[in-house]
Chain A
Amino acid sequence: MIRFEQACVTYPNGVVGMKDLDLTIDDGEFVVIVGLSGAGKSTLIRAINGLVPLTSGRLDVNGRDVTKLNRSGLRELRSGIGMIFQGFNLVDRTTVLKNVLMGRLHEVPTWRTLIGRYPAADIDLAARALQRVEILEKAYSRASDLSGGQRQRVGIARALAQEPAIILADEPVASLDPPTSHVVMRYLQQISRELGITTIVNLHFLDLATAYADRIIGLRDGVLVFDGPGSDADEQVFESIYGRSLTADDTMTKHAAL
């Protein structure tokens, strides 16, 4: 369970990323966070694994108070939280398998990491993760040789290899074309449902959000302005999130038709 209580984040340059947030996310939920860029979506996601520290307030993740964790406590917390990125964040010069094994770093002894000899059990886990997103045959390809959609599947496999309780996805489809976006979203949804992994996804296309989310959270200027099931999120709700009426730019399908 993830629980924010009166959580605030103010960046050193004065920008407010999160303001008095009260939010509880239960185990196994599939939550989509929507909002304009700069609304605090990335801040919320990165607060959960401690990449962005709270300025004030409280945040419990799986019973641990994130604000009180030291460096090794944070590593411990992060090892149970998989993360997926907009720019994939793969090491292009190395193999797909080595990239997925990055998800096992917390468990693998340092000396083994340094000489690049991973235990067979971890390689097996990485292979299973690749199999789960149907890209096992690319295990020994260089990451730079893959298409955008394939790369993001490797990103998902890397997160899965952690055997996480929570997956955070920060704009996972923003660099992809519409059909590929749906493929990636379907994988995320399946994984969440079948493995019971709490999944939190940032999106800025509204139709994708309503199509996949069990629950939608709307942010505007760091403040929570909507929290409800996807079916409740009608045009009026989105206007309150975006602060203006919707345009073709806000949905993916119309966007693609342009």
Chain B
Amino acid sequence: MTHLDTVVPDAPTLPRKPRPALFTIATIAAAIALTIVTARSVDFSFGEIIGNLSRKNSVVEGLLNPDWGQIWSRRSRSAFIETLQLAVLGTATGATLALPLALWTTTFGNPNRWIRTVVRSFNNVNRAIPDLLWASLFVASVGIGALSGLLALFFFSLAVTTKLTSDTLDGIDMGPIEAANAAGASLPKMLRTAVVPQILPAYASFVLYNFELNLRASAVLGLVGAGGIGLRIEFFRGRGDWEALWGLVFMFFIVVFVVERLSVTLRRRLV
């Protein structure tokens, strides 16, 4: 058996240990300080939260005694179906258009620097606008109803799937692109045969994930008048009918949970 100290007899001196990164320490300290300062400025206190919740409160009482009958009422059911339809349509339109849009942001998919810059800027602006803001904008301009919700979800899906797909495109193997070009392929043919097969499983997974997001978002969109189950929740909230409201919310939880489980299972098979 060889002992290392017979092969390397002199105790080696290690190179100087690098100093702990000051930047990391400063960032952590700043994050803690910022949390404390903001908590103070909004008068955050645990006591108040517990105090408010334990006082006699019709909202919390409704939670303990939800109206299950509301789930099966005809109106609630059609509102649920509208929510699902919104999520499906918003995903189908937005996520489909996201694929070419993501390809246009890459150097290999779009040789024109100016068009690339324009498409990237559009994506950045689109991503900066939250779904609720889109919904409020369309409710104001198009009117209350499902169409506003659909438009909001379309732009929201476009933003999410484009971003995720672009990030995947950054990491693809460039070899097949060179091979397609060397065989005399035009740009669309090259993208279809050398790029799309590489990202297709990831893209399909993003579309499903986007559908989950849309289903959840479509509930909230109704609160500003953009159709779906949210409109119905808002209706009961306005009437102060908390039992019916909680019944609907529980039903919504179940729907979201089931869809999410299905989607997660499917996505695991894809990647």
Contacts and interface: CB of A to CB of B under 8 A. Distances in A.
Interface stretch (A4-12, A72-80, A121-129): A72-80
B201 interface: yes
B183 A162 contact: yes
Contacts of A68: none
A162 B181 CA distance: 13
B7 interface: no
Contacts of A211: none
A226 interface: no
Contact of B185 (A75, A80, A114): A75
A126 to B, nearest CB: 12
A88 B182 CA distance: 13
Interface stretch (B32-40, B75-83, B187-195): B187-195
B173 interface: yes
Interface size class of A (residues with CB under 8 A): 35 or more
A106 interface: yes
Contacts of A241: none
Tell me the interface secondary structure of chain B in the complex: helix
Contact of A78 (B173, B176, B183): B183
Interface stretch (A89-97, A201-209, A214-222): A89-97
A113 to B, nearest CB: 5
A51 B189 contact: no
B126 interface: no
Contact of B184 (A79, A90, A92, A101): A79
Contacts of A101: 193
A102 B183 contact: yes
B174 to A, nearest CB: 9
A80 B182 CA distance: 10
Nearest to A115: B192
Contact of B175 (A88, A106, A108): A88
B179 A89 contact: yes
A93 B172 CA distance: 11
A83 B182 contact: yes
B103 to A, nearest CB: 13
Contacts of A103: 183
Contacts of B179: 83, 85, 89-90, 102, 158
Contacts of B184: 74-80, 105-106, 162
B194 A102 contact: yes
Contacts of A116: 192
A79 B181 CA distance: 9
A41 interface: no
B93 interface: no
A43 to B, nearest CB: 14
Given A91-B198, A92-B173, A78 B182 contact: yes
A47 to B, nearest CB: 13
A199 interface: no
Contacts of B176: 89-91, 102
B178 interface: yes
B2 interface: no
Given A93-B197, A93-B200, A98-B197, A114 B192 contact: yes
Contact of B178 (A51, A75, A77, A82): A51
A87 interface: yes
Nearest to B180: A102
A82 B184 CA distance: 9
B45 interface: no
Contacts of A78: 181-184
A55 B180 CA distance: 24
A162 B200 CA distance: 26
Given A75-B184, A102-B180, A89 B175 contact: yes
B186 interface: yes
A81 interface: yes
A130 to B, nearest CB: 16
A88 B173 CA distance: 11
Nearest to B201: A93
Contacts of B201: 93
Nearest to B174: A89
A247 interface: no
A89 B183 CA distance: 12
Nearest to A83: B182
24 contacts: A51-B182, A75-B186, A77-B184, A78-B183, A78-B184, A82-B183, A85-B175, A85-B179, A87-B175, A88-B175, A89-B176, A89-B179, A90-B175, A90-B176, A91-B173, A102-B185, A105-B186, A105-B189, A105-B193, A110-B186, A110-B189, A113-B192, A116-B192, A162-B184
Q: Kindly list the 7 A-B residue pairs having the minimum CB-CB distance in the complex, ordered from nearest.
A: A79-B184, A89-B175, A78-B184, A105-B185, A83-B182, A106-B184, A89-B179
